[in-house]
Amino acid sequence: MSLWQILVSYSLLVAASLSLLTYWITKKFVLKKMKRTIMKAEHNYQQQIATLQMQLSGKVNVLESMVEKLRLSNQELNRLNEIRSKFMSIVAHDLRQPLSSIQGFTSVLMMDNPQGGGNNDQIALNNILKATDNMNMLMADLMDISMIESGRFKMDVQPFNFNALLSDVITLQTVNAQKKGIFLRKCEYPAEVTVVADRFRISQVLSNLIGNAIKFSPQGGSIEARFYVLDGQLTFKVSDNGPGLLHSEKEKIFQKFHQSDNDRTLKKQGWGLGLSIAQEIINAHGGQIGVESAGLGQGSVFWFCIPQNPAVPASAGGGSEPARKEQTVRV
Region label for 75, one of left (φ > 0), alpha (ψ between -120 and 50) or beta (otherwise):
alpha
User: 268 vs 22, which has greater pLDDT?
Assistant: 22
Residue 25: predicted pLDDT: 73
Going from N- to C-terminal start, the domains of the chain cover: 1-153, 158-330
Residue 164: predicted pLDDT: 92
Residue 288: predicted pLDDT: 93
- Per DSSP, the residues of 149-160 read HHT------EEE
Confidence (pTM): 0.59
Per-residue pLDDT tens for 53-71? 888 888 888 898 899 888 8
Mean model confidence pLDDT for the chain:
77
- How many whole angstroms separate alpha carbon 245 and alpha carbon 261? 10
Instruction: For domain 158-330, give the CATH number.
Output: 3.30.565.10
- Per-residue pLDDT, averaged over 209-222, amounts to 88
Distances (CA, A) of 322 to 21, 84, 98, 185, 189: 102, 48, 50, 19, 9
